[in-house]
Chain A
């Protein structure tokens, strides 16, 4: 177990190093100049060169990357080019909102997705199954902006049950979390359905049925714990998506998460912020996957970590 953990941690570190290198390289070759964004439209050529030198952006790629990595290893993510604020402060100030929304969204996704998946598997081939699967297809392909606005309009503006966007109380969390839950539930329901169908065909389920166990007990005690495994692994991937990619929902609901920060930084080529957000998201994905792998043997004793 300890050896496994150490090996996985080293792997994770290497992955993060690779992510940092690739992202830094892509930003380096990008045909957009951060210095021009800082210097503004009225700057003279000298001003532009001066800023380039001060930020060390005139140096070769490997020197720039080395400097960034060196500072990063000492816990320094640098300062935003345009805001001049510490990147770590900017990310930390938004992290709680992102984590809260992520938690709320995953709970909604699982509630909706797993229920739909289980029900569809139990009634597979029937009208109910088909309806649920079409629904999941629709939710997966639905544009975030439209769904967000629709829910906001109906439940906040028309019915007045929830505030029209914002952050701070549980009521603020409901609509964005439900929106993300609906949008993401399709993946979970499809995975849960197929996994459940596989399990229901297994020998031990037939044995359980032969023993005369109730259907509820078969499903909840025998089928579900086994079918849920691949789904749990998916949460790890989901965490990564939530850490970086929910700009639209955040901006409709005025949710002060990391996505908005990243999006604005990308528009303005604010490299320290882009790097910071990318690495934090990558870290979350790596951590999420590691946790999913560590949890797996607790649910299914057949799995051994080696």
Chain B
């Protein structure tokens, strides 16, 4: 930190809390051992530029590193492959100083060229990365292609300078995303399109075995640059496992972490058994489940109608449907997200008030509409609860029970009047309030095919959001969060969404698993931070 602060004469350094760099793993932790983790769905890819699924997100985190990282179990940034960084006063230039002597799994030392190559690769349209858009602030993003990004420059083998075309207060979070992982060019060239099956990174684990459709084995990277981690010698992932069966195998001592959690049908039974409940870790999640009201489809173009729907929904009852594994939501941001407006109660549950609002809008007799929902449990049951709540104020909502891809299609095309977001709901990519706005509430997402299913577009709020994201100066962090809070309060005034609940995570683990609880509900490495957990025997 000293070196960083010494250079602030002309450059402004974003100081991190001292603790951030000195995370001390559990002193009781013992190295060695192997754990078994199960998932229902197969692992599609381990290419950090492509992977964007529930199961591969944390796996990729353990195989690769980016310039930035998070303190385990928290949302606090810490440097990763970068040893230090400096931000210019105008917030447009980031200079990262890399750690020396970091080796890829193939034995070669990582350099600034690799950082540039990786950022060029993820933004190159030919890579088809679902995360390319996160890097849009980097200069030259519009012309990204085989030629690379003009804004990423190798200064010397251990220094890389990134120039932005506009200030981006979230840029360090972006550099901590899986999509910003550093990959070695020669390994990508050699594997070609199969890089996702033959990943080579700098991470705490390396891929030792992959039997397609059955299992993957991660093996400890003995040369890992963070001393002392990982603790486990190996992690075995078994895929294609039904969550109910995974739980039975856990109870039988064959599985250590069922990656898909506790299935709804077994939840009461598990929580009712003190021995099992003691092994469940509960944590918040950067998630909001919501109903979108399409402001371009009458009568949802009327503010009174949208407010009425907000007041008609009994959120407590919906939370009961999912065994109480959530808290009712008042606003788009989840409570654990910076920028969340404390003390804002949201729209009250008030069917009478809702009816009065409908009458005000000239719809005293109600109307008929459609509610789109994804066809996997518990979403159809939640949709039925919404349907009943709406019926109570005279709105007849017909449920359209469809496969995920079809709901997303209808939402993007703007043909769905109402959508319950369950199964497709927004989980933050990184812990910053801006991540809940652009694609889902901003004008940019309100286009054909965008994820803003309300098609809500308010240029005034958009301008405010843009202003907030340009406040890269850490001294203005508080002011920036206040601005974001204003943006979301502005959204609530216009009610394009009914925020319904914020899911909590319930992770169950085997008796022999060690490490602090926070590692099992890590907000970034979902579901488990494999690098820091350990086994007791």
Which of A38, A44, A157, A260 counts the most B-chain CB atoms under 10 A from its CB? Answer: A44
CA A253 – CA B197 in complex, angstroms? 25
| B132 interfacial by beta-carbon distance below 8 Å | yes
B450's nearest neighbour on chain A, judged by CB, is A45
A257's nearest neighbour on chain B, judged by CB, is B213
A160's nearest neighbour on chain B, judged by CB, is B252
Can you list 28 pairs linking A and B with CB atoms under 8 Å apart? Answer: A31-B410, A32-B409, A33-B412, A36-B408, A42-B133, A42-B134, A42-B438, A47-B133, A51-B125, A54-B128, A82-B44, A82-B50, A84-B47, A94-B212, A149-B244, A164-B252, A165-B249, A166-B238, A251-B40, A251-B241, A253-B245, A254-B242, A260-B213, A261-B213, A264-B42, A267-B403, A267-B404, A269-B405
CB atoms of A264 and B451 under 8 A apart: no
Which of B193, B241, B405 counts the most A-chain CB atoms under 10 A from its CB? Answer: B405
The smallest C-beta distance from A151 to any residue of chain B, in angstroms, reads 12
Indicate which residue in B125, B132, B136, B447 contacts A54 across the interface (CB closer than 8 Å).
B125
CB atoms of B409 and A164 under 8 A apart: no
CB atoms of B439 and A41 under 8 A apart: yes
Given contacts A42-B131, A164-B252, A256-B214, 17 further A-B contacts (CB under 8 A): A32-B408, A33-B412, A37-B405, A38-B128, A41-B451, A42-B429, A84-B45, A85-B193, A85-B197, A93-B211, A149-B245, A251-B242, A252-B244, A260-B42, A260-B213, A264-B41, A269-B405
| A40 interfacial by beta-carbon distance below 8 Å | yes
Indicate which residue in B130, B408, B448 contacts A38 across the interface (CB closer than 8 Å).
B130
CA A83 – CA B403 in complex, angstroms? 20
Q: Which residues of B contact A84 (CB under 8 A)?
A: 45, 47, 50, 193-194, 196
Q: Which residues of A contact B126 (CB under 8 A)?
A: 54
Indicate which residue in B40, B405, B440 contacts A268 across the interface (CB closer than 8 Å).
B405
The smallest C-beta distance from B346 to any residue of chain A, in angstroms, reads 24
CB atoms of A31 and B406 under 8 A apart: yes
Q: How does the 8 Å CB contact mask read for A82-116 relative to B, with 1 for contact and 0 for none?
A: 11110001100110010000000000000000000
Q: Which residues of A contact B444 (CB under 8 A)?
A: 44
| B52 interfacial by beta-carbon distance below 8 Å | yes
Total contacts A to B, CB within 8 angstroms? 143
The smallest C-beta distance from A174 to any residue of chain B, in angstroms, reads 16
Q: How does the 8 Å CB contact mask read for B118-130 relative to A, with 1 for contact and 0 for none?
A: 0000000110101
| B490 interfacial by beta-carbon distance below 8 Å | no
Q: Which residues of A contact B242 (CB under 8 A)?
A: 165, 251-252, 254
- How big is the A interface, by class? 35 or more
CA A37 – CA B251 in complex, angstroms? 36
| B449 interfacial by beta-carbon distance below 8 Å | yes
CB atoms of A90 and B212 under 8 A apart: yes
| A152 interfacial by beta-carbon distance below 8 Å | yes
Indicate which residue in B130, B213, B405 contacts A33 across the interface (CB closer than 8 Å).
B405
| B89 interfacial by beta-carbon distance below 8 Å | no
Given A38-B128, A152-B248, A260-B213, are A33 and B409 also a contact pair (CB < 8 Å)? yes
CA A157 – CA B245 in complex, angstroms? 10
Q: Number of residues in B with C-beta < 8 Å to the partner? A: 55
Which of A80, A84, A93, A253 counts the most B-chain CB atoms under 10 A from its CB? Answer: A84
| B228 interfacial by beta-carbon distance below 8 Å | no
| A79 interfacial by beta-carbon distance below 8 Å | yes
Q: How does the 8 Å CB contact mask read for A45-56 relative to B, with 1 for contact and 0 for none?
A: 101101100100
Q: How does the 8 Å CB contact mask read for B435-462 relative to A, with 1 for contact and 0 for none?
A: 0001110001001111100000000000
Given A45-B449, A85-B197, A264-B42, are A252 and B133 also a contact pair (CB < 8 Å)? no
| B240 interfacial by beta-carbon distance below 8 Å | yes
B213's nearest neighbour on chain A, judged by CB, is A256
The smallest C-beta distance from B15 to any residue of chain A, in angstroms, reads 29
CA A180 – CA B81 in complex, angstroms? 52
Q: Which residues of B contact A47 (CB under 8 A)?
A: 125, 132-133
CB atoms of B125 and A40 under 8 A apart: no
The smallest C-beta distance from A85 to any residue of chain B, in angstroms, reads 6
Q: Which residues of B contact A251 (CB under 8 A)?
A: 40, 240-242
Q: Which residues of A contact B244 (CB under 8 A)?
A: 149, 252
Q: Which residues of A contact B479 (CB under 8 A)?
A: none
Interface residues of B in 212-245 (CB under 8 A from A): 212-214, 238, 240-242, 244-245
Interface residues of B in 125-164 (CB under 8 A from A): 125-126, 128, 130-134, 136
Indicate which residue in B248, B404, B429 contacts A164 across the interface (CB closer than 8 Å).
B248
A89's nearest neighbour on chain B, judged by CB, is B212
| B360 interfacial by beta-carbon distance below 8 Å | no
Q: Which residues of A contact B186 (CB under 8 A)?
A: none
The smallest C-beta distance from A156 to any residue of chain B, in angstroms, reads 8
